Chain A
């Protein structure tokens, strides 16, 4: 494995879900304070910050609550990959030698219901939204519908993904939906976008996550259990891929940005999919987790049916996936969601995930996000 230059030395999180009366930014501030405590440092020690929030205000304004120390604070906005982009930026800031200790912050607070898409912001005409095409949920329904037909994935396997998410979240005090739901209930809930039912979709939500990063060779100053960042990669779509918010797709088919991002991350880390002990994959709906298993290189297309039916991606399985309940049980506060995955992997690598700790003594962990308009972010962590 490649020699890492950056370590995560502190993590903090405000519970995901709905917290009436607490602003998105205050959830971010809470997460920062938790991360500072975890690393045993003070806000004045932090030399730089990258922060992301889609719907809850500019992150750099939080310095008025955390302390006006004059640090370099840069806001990032990159759709569902906002958290991954904040982490990418912070990691490379340290790797460049510019600073030794910094923080990546993500928080959000979305209105209820599906994301309200502003078509102009997506580079699309008003007609697209007016006629009812500007819905992320439609894309997910259409992508998995075709995938199920081409690769023999069953409806029951979709339900198993959701059931696993809620079951895993039962042991995660930071998760939103912690009540196990049966496969039957999942399949019989409202059909929102065929073949996906209500309980197969995650919801926009609230929450905050902060990660403190240090130069790898200084990590032991802050923690006995540093987690190293072996790769952080963000990529956008290429010609021929099938993406959310697309009025057209090219005639020729090609792989999506997840495939490119994953390959680049494994190359950067100098390892392969077989070396991963635990993975957090973007599961904005049950079908996404299935397709992303193959797109990230963890199986061939179609193999998911057997893997999921046999429980290989359960916490006790060969490759545990979405051990904290994923987006399905945590909801998706866009700015924070990708950082939640990293937070969970740090816990798992430290052996501190409590009742949802994977039992395979994990050494290498993987995160993946995907979002509009065809963007993906991957990290590989190790201890």
Chain B
């Protein structure tokens, strides 16, 4: 079985027991952003700290990517392209995160619905590893 590797180091804590996205929080004004960064875009200070984000939120908006993105930069399968969902999930009291969605079925997507973080294989890199990234999934009813 192929090894699994994260799409980028420092973006999330997968693989781990309770994998989370890694953002940052401003210690002066409490603003949260994702991914983590050294400066605060809200108060223009530079007193930020890494923060693991919550794993649940509500769907703020969404679309479905209906055509294959250009490659590069896209690394997914262009030849057998499958539309995928994209949205912003508002993680409670933290930040809205742009994310792939685990469904591309518009009947399953509704603004305001509860979503939870998951991790999915996206493509194989040149070494044959499965590249893993984050995607939000509708919560089980």
Binding site for B on A (CB under 8 A): 113-114, 116-119, 125-135, 138, 141-143, 145-146, 149, 190-196, 239, 246-251
Which of A138, A191, A247 touches B35 (beta carbons < 8 Å)? A247
Which residue from chain B places its CB closest to the CB of A131 in the assembled complex? B133
Q: Contacts A117-B73, A191-B64 given: A126-B96 contact, CB under 8 Å?
A: no
Is B66 part of the binding interface, using a Cβ–Cβ cutoff of 8 Å? yes
Taken together as a complex, chains A and B put the C-alpha atoms of A141 and B66 apart, in Å, by 11
**Contact size range, B:** 35 or more
Q: Are A145 and B74 in contact (CB under 8 A)?
A: no
Is B50 part of the binding interface, using a Cβ–Cβ cutoff of 8 Å? no
Interchain residue pairs with CB less than 8 A apart (23): A116-B70, A126-B8, A129-B72, A131-B122, A132-B65, A133-B86, A138-B63, A142-B63, A145-B63, A192-B66, A193-B66, A194-B62, A239-B41, A247-B97, A248-B34, A248-B95, A248-B96, A249-B95, A249-B96, A249-B98, A250-B33, A250-B96, A251-B90
> CB within 8 Å of A: which of B18-50?
23, 31-35, 41-42
Which of B32, B66, B73, B106 touches A251 (beta carbons < 8 Å)? B32
Taken together as a complex, chains A and B put the C-alpha atoms of A194 and B90 apart, in Å, by 20
Tell me which residues across on chain A come within 8 A of B52, comparing CB atoms: none
Taken together as a complex, chains A and B put the C-alpha atoms of A117 and B72 apart, in Å, by 9
Q: Contacts A132-B76, A239-B41, A247-B34 given: A193-B63 contact, CB under 8 Å?
A: yes
Tell me which residues across on chain B come within 8 A of A127, comparing CB atoms: 7-8, 11, 133
Taken together as a complex, chains A and B put the C-alpha atoms of A250 and B88 apart, in Å, by 11
Q: Are A146 and B93 in contact (CB under 8 A)?
A: no
Taking the nearest CB of chain B, how far is it from the CB of A270, in angstroms? 32
Tell me which residues across on chain A come within 8 A of B84, comparing CB atoms: 132
Taking the nearest CB of chain A, how far is it from the CB of B129, in angstroms? 13
Q: Are A250 and B63 in contact (CB under 8 A)?
A: no
Taking the nearest CB of chain A, how far is it from the CB of B119, in angstroms? 12
Tell me which residues across on chain A come within 8 A of B93, comparing CB atoms: 251
CB-defined interface of B1-14 with A at 8 Å, one 1/0 digit per residue? 00000011001000
Is B111 part of the binding interface, using a Cβ–Cβ cutoff of 8 Å? yes
Is B103 part of the binding interface, using a Cβ–Cβ cutoff of 8 Å? no
Taking the nearest CB of chain B, how far is it from the CB of A64, in angstroms? 33
Tell me which residues across on chain B come within 8 A of A113, comparing CB atoms: 70
Taken together as a complex, chains A and B put the C-alpha atoms of A126 and B71 apart, in Å, by 12
Taken together as a complex, chains A and B put the C-alpha atoms of A134 and B23 apart, in Å, by 19
Q: Which of A114, A130, A192, A251 has the most CB of B within 10 A?
A: A130
Tell me which residues across on chain A come within 8 A of B67, comparing CB atoms: 114, 190, 192
Q: Are B42 and A250 in contact (CB under 8 A)?
A: yes
